[in-house]
Amino acid sequence: MSPALLTDIDLDSDLGCNELFGPAVMVFKAKDEADALRIANSTQYGLMASVWTQDMDRGQKFAEQIEAGMTFVNTHMDSSPEFPFGGIKNSGYGRENAQWALREFTNERLVRLAAHPTGRVSFTRVSPA
């Protein structure tokens, strides 16, 4: 597939409503910040978003309104084991990495010992290796 820059995309079209993969970028034109936020949140997906600005406070306020599992300001595709990775809407459920991964990928088991010689009942929590 050849690299492509796609513009003038109708948000209701197949291209405007679905994720695009490959060496292609879709560019949407917005009238102002409110319109940009409307466009960003109009998708049924919500994995990752980026905000690019010279005003960090304004960028943070804008980023906090975007409906995505991960939103970065002045960077994109950042990854680190301590970052929670995951999306919202039709881009997934739950989080990976850091403490979120421990919860998502751990299957706790219970081993119960009945009739202890002293008459007590005890149990042990076992985590998989």
DSSP assignment string, 9-22 = --TTSHHHHS---S
Q: Within a domain: residue 7?
A: no
Q: pLDDT per residue over 33-78, tens digit each?
A: 999 999 999 998 888 899 999 999 999 999 999 999 889 999 988 8
- Rounded mean pLDDT of 72-97? 79
Domain assignment of residue 5, yes or no? no
Number of folded domains in the chain? 1
Is 80 within a domain?
Answer: yes
How far apart (Å, rounded) are the C-alpha atoms in residues 72 and 74? Answer: 6
Q: Which residues contact 25 (CB under 8 A, 6 or more apart)?
A: 4, 5, 6
Greater confidence, 84 or 24?
24
112 lies in some domain: no
Domain containing 71 equals 31-93
Residue 20 pLDDT exceeds 90: no
Q: How big is the chain, counted in residues?
A: 129
